[in-house]
Amino acid sequence: MNYGTNFDPNMHNGAPPPQAPPPPGVVPPPYNPVQPGYAAVPPMYVPQPIVPRRQYGFAQKLMALAMFFFGYLFMRVFVFEDGSIGRTVFTLLLLLASAGYMAHTGVKPGAASVLAGILTGVLSLGFAFGLPDGLGLLLTAACALCYTYYVYKAYDTGIEGFPGRFLDFDLMRALFAAPFSSFGSVFPAVFSTTGEKNKRISKKLGLILLGLLISIIPTAIVVGLLSYDSNFTTLLDQVMGIDLLEGSAWSHIGAFLLGIPVAMYMYGLWTSCAFAVCRPLTGEHCAEKRKRARVLPQILAFAAMTPMLFVYLIFFISQFKYYTAAFTGVLPRGYSYAEYARSGFFELCAVIAVNGIMVLLLFLLVRRSGRNGLARLYTALLSLSTLILAVTAASKMLLYVDAYGLTLRRVSTLCFILAMALVFLVLLLQTVIPKLPVVPVSLTVIFVLFGGLMLSNTPAWISHYNTTQILAGADWELDHTYFDQLGDAAVADAVTLEKSEQVDAQTREAARNFLNRWERWEKEEAPRLSEYSLNHIRAEQAIKNREPFRGVSLRTE
């Protein structure tokens, strides 16, 4: 239509005239609601999908309450006390409750989940020996890792049914993504109500919980009033560890409160797995994520690693006559055993750790293309260099042990070196066998090594080895620090050393002082039932056979 030159805008109520359709192949301009003359069109409403509310049945509520109990128990035996056998009982009870819940809800765990559960129970037996703090913390971390994987893998097998190339993704989801995605779900699980029957059950459970909280103050007052009787307080202290005079009654309240985050973590894991809260992943998704994370060009990574390999070559050549002495047992001139073993030992361990970080970054961040021949070559050279450093460091430590005996730190250091050497050996094999799954094989090697260390009662066999060598004529001197580090495990051997005339006077005196301190501690602070260990029971039997060395030592303790 031709409007001509006398066009009146008012004819169309202020709107521009109709536009002719665009020619074929021309895209019309987008609609602009700000343009004068156009009325703003409200956006179209798109209904969002309704997410159904989680339904917590009686089994879920009971499990949530059980998590509160296990959170309290965790704080008691792992934080407030040196739990020994109590930690083993805690872990086995947690596994039993978890297996019962799975059976009741119809969950059938696969082979990987069952294997992780069995491994959790087996590792927990190491607590019964009464391990020192460092080994106990390491064992606690291993049990926590296995238990979370046990629960997670019972529900989610989308990535892979059995540990393989993407085990690291499974572990990250089990340890972090699943528990924290439903971190607060334990509270709605306890207090939510669906249905008349569940409302009555929840009301009763809430009243029970409220009644228990109310009873804390009057119960504490009654216990305080009845504590005038020594028999009552002794029995109560053995059973519950309650002693108002020392404030440990309040430690139960503190353990319950501090155990709430533990309960939230554990039940969050269960909720996320049962309701599939985390976004499902497959092996293809994980492979794509790993591919996108590899952003560094190969040429950049290899240029950064080449100077390191060149430095290692110069180092091996320059230090050949000194560091290879560790393999022959012949000391270089001017060195004592202590000086030679310590010379460069910790530096070698640090270099091994740096190489581990370098290989990890090479695996995670460097692009892959074709047969990756250059990447495999650099990985092989770095692994071979690390193996040489690890063997050298281990040989130096063995020389030191041969001169001064074993301690917990020396054994732990040797295990660290051996673990790193085995991991780099797996990496070296992977350059020859590209399909070898590095992550699961390396974790298996580490678990077997440290699992054997935990389950072999390390403090006891260290003490037995040193005692045997001293009685056989080794010129070793053991001080009070050595005995204190081994604790209960050293009592039986300290009794032997105290009686023997073949032992030097300083070692006998250190053993005597240690036994006197141990007996005083036993009388003043007898361990509770949860704190007993196999080493402590063995120590009590050894003390009964001890000669009455009760005199004051010539040296100050």
Each residue of 481-508: pLDDT tens digit? 899 999 999 999 999 999 888 898 999 9
CB 488 within 8 A of CB 531: no
C-alpha–C-alpha distance, residues 250 and 436, integer Å: 54
Average pLDDT over residues 526-534: 80
Secondary structure (3-state) at 78: helix
Burial class (CB in 10 A: 0-12, 13-18, 19+), 366: buried
Local confidence band at 553 (pLDDT 50, 70, 90 cut-offs): very low
User: What are the beta bridge partners of residue 366?
Assistant: 296
Which helix (H) or strand (E) covers residue 189, if one does?
helix 186-191
Local confidence band at 316 (pLDDT 50, 70, 90 cut-offs): confident
Backbone angles phi, psi at 8, to 5 degrees: -105, 115
C-alpha–C-alpha distance, residues 503 and 497, integer Å: 7
pLDDT tens per residue, range 137-182? 999 999 999 999 999 999 977 788 888 888 889 999 999 999 999 9
CB 135 within 8 A of CB 83: no
The predicted pLDDT at position 245 comes to 37
Print the SS3 string covering 296-346.
ECHHHHHHHHHHHHHHHHHHHHHCHHHHCHHHHCCCCCCCCHHHHHHCCHH
C-alpha–C-alpha distance, residues 273 and 186, integer Å: 14
- 215 Cβ contact partners less than 8 Å away, ≥ 6 residues apart: none
C-alpha–C-alpha distance, residues 71 and 183, integer Å: 14
- 28 Cβ contact partners less than 8 Å away, ≥ 6 residues apart: 22
Secondary structure (3-state) at 6: coil
pLDDT tens per residue, range 214-229? 776 777 777 777 777 7
Q: Which of 313-317, 404-408, 437-441 has the lowest mean pLDDT?
A: 313-317
pLDDT tens per residue, range 345-387? 788 888 888 898 888 888 888 888 767 778 888 889 999 999 9
Local confidence band at 196 (pLDDT 50, 70, 90 cut-offs): low
Average pLDDT over residues 533-547: 88
Local confidence band at 329 (pLDDT 50, 70, 90 cut-offs): low
The predicted pLDDT at position 157 comes to 73
pLDDT tens per residue, range 418-433? 999 999 999 999 989 9
Supply the DSSP string of 194-235, one letter for each residue: -SHHHHHHHHHHHHHHHHHHHHHHHHHHHHHHHTTSHHHHHH
The predicted pLDDT at position 551 comes to 47
Q: Which pTM does this prediction carry?
A: 0.79
Average pLDDT over residues 108-125: 94
Pair of tokens at residue 471:
């009685």
**Cβ atoms within 10 Å of 436's Cβ, excluding its own:** 14
CB 489 within 8 A of CB 535: yes
CB 223 within 8 A of CB 248: no
Q: Which of 383, 183, 158 is nearest to 282 (CA)?
A: 158
Average pLDDT over residues 52-63: 80
Local confidence band at 243 (pLDDT 50, 70, 90 cut-offs): very low
